[in-house]
Amino acid sequence: MTVNVDSYKYLSGFGNHFSSEALEGALPQGQNTPQKCPYGLYAEQLSGTAFTVDRQHNQRSWLYRIRPSVGHSPYVFYKRLHPDFASSEMRYIPNQLRWSPFPLPADDNPVDFLDGLVTIAGAGDPTVRNGLAIHIYTCNKSMEKRAMYNSDGDFLIVPQTGRLDITTEFGKMLVEPLEIVVIPRGIKFSVRLPQTHARGYILEVFGNHFELPDLGPIGANGLANPRDFLTPEAAFEDKGEAWQMYNKYAGQFFAAIQDHSPFNVVAWHGNYVPYTYDLRKFNAVNSVTFDHMDPSIFTVLTSKSAFPGTAIADFVIFPPRWAVQEHTFRPPYFHRNCMAEFMGLITGEYEAKAKGFLPGGASLMTPHGPDATTFEKASNEKLVPTRVADNTMAFMFESSLMLGTTQWALSTEVLQNDYEQVWNGLKSHFRTNK
């Protein structure tokens, strides 16, 4: 089904085999690689999994383009985005960490999406296809005649402020705060800014692609519904202009030059595609009797590990909803977790922190829980059906891996050096007579 959003055209569904043509008849009929493709196009397959992966999980798309991707100059080193996560440049420390909003570039310092990427944390190794990285982007300039792709993994991009006008090989997407976009490994894209600046978060996974979580006893419906995911319809450029192409490869960016637009795909078909999702459409479930359910019930997407029930990374949100539990401490409980939890705030005020956790900031947690102010309020308030998190959207990147922190993240001026003091007011309420 075609969906129109702000003049952008999309196909709806998750994991579908789509077909899309910018020119009628551009897709070959009955085969993928005819001796001569319609309109004189080149046939190029983009594989997201090995050829021999079982059909249920096999991902690939066929692109029919004006010029093939092999036409470019040799790649040369441009910059390093993140170090080897096992190196001495990373710090693995058990402290709770929190950052105030990451600063936007000054008006007299133009920075585009590519140059505005900074790594906060990570684990694993993209060269062995296992692990993840967490990045922040801040920018005030569009990518002009510059495009990029990621050979290391999939990008899940969470805009916090400012819309992103994203051109991909598959078509165009417009993404705003409270929406996300996933650009799988190898897909070329470029980011324009419809507004003066933008900031957001990125979860990058090196292993399995993102998929919808299993619903188990929840049943056939709920959480993120497949029909609400949108993939762009085909659109192409046919311009003989010089473009700079950037490839993230083993944590480093390499640059090449080509004499044509990378977005010259006239038609495509397949199930390996970029997509966007509106977080406001998430169908939340929760307890209607007692106790606070585990936050896994708010999982939007997951990248599974080799161990059943354990993720390399989960993307979890905390959307507006009702709280109706009886005789229950309703905010998130105090918790020590074998998983690593990185949290960000898109907008509003997070329910477990009265102050200090701000939109555009972040936290990386070991033991965690509500601060003293929130605890006292929630322990004594009247328990009636209550709206929670209205005009708020917090999220979590959760991983089974131990996350190391970059030197930049530990030295930036927005690191809150007194974060642990939010729990200093938690006094003892113990008494021998219950």
Please answer whether residues 268 and 38 qualify as being in contact, where contact means their C-beta atoms are separated by less than 8 angstroms.
no
Please answer whether residues 153 and 434 qualify as being in contact, where contact means their C-beta atoms are separated by less than 8 angstroms.
no
Q: Retrieve residue 43's tokens.
A: 């046939």
Lookup result for tokens 């510059």: 146
Please answer whether residues 208 and 312 qualify as being in contact, where contact means their C-beta atoms are separated by less than 8 angstroms.
yes
To the question of whether residue 64 is assigned a binding role by annotation, the answer is: no
Q: Retrieve residue 193's tokens.
A: 């800014």
The DSSP call for residue 152 is S
Q: Retrieve residue 46's tokens.
A: 């983009």
Instruction: Return d(Cα 33, Cα 8) in angstroms, integer.
Output: 29
Catalytic residue among 209, 292, 327, 429: 292
Instruction: Return d(Cα 265, Cα 33) in angstroms, integer.
Output: 15
Please answer whether residues 371 and 365 qualify as being in contact, where contact means their C-beta atoms are separated by less than 8 angstroms.
no
List phi, psi (to 5°) of 375.
Answer: -60, -50
Please answer whether residues 385 and 305 qualify as being in contact, where contact means their C-beta atoms are separated by less than 8 angstroms.
no
Instruction: Return d(Cα 248, Cα 244) in angstroms, integer.
Output: 13
Residues 6+ apart with CB under 8 A from 28: 34, 37, 38, 43, 64
Please answer whether residues 243 and 146 qualify as being in contact, where contact means their C-beta atoms are separated by less than 8 angstroms.
yes
Q: Could you please report the per-residue DSSP string of 284-304?
A: ----SSSSPPPGGGGEEEEEE
To the question of whether residue 75 is assigned a binding role by annotation, the answer is: no
The DSSP call for residue 129 is T
To the question of whether residue 72 is assigned a binding role by annotation, the answer is: no
Residues 6+ apart with CB under 8 A from 262: 69, 147, 169, 188, 190, 243, 245
Is 292 noted as a catalytic residue in this protein?
yes
Closest Cα partner for 77 from 259, 247, 258?
A: 247
What 3-state DSSP class applies to 128? helix
Q: What kind and span of H or E run contains 312?
A: strand 311-318
Terminal alpha carbon distance of the chain: 61
Amino acid at 4: N
To the question of whether residue 82 is assigned a binding role by annotation, the answer is: no
CA angle 133, 137, 140 (to 5 degrees): 165
Annotated binding site for Fe cation: 335, 341, 368
Annotated binding site for homogentisate: 350, 368
Annotated binding site: 335, 341, 350, 368
The catalytic residue positions are 292
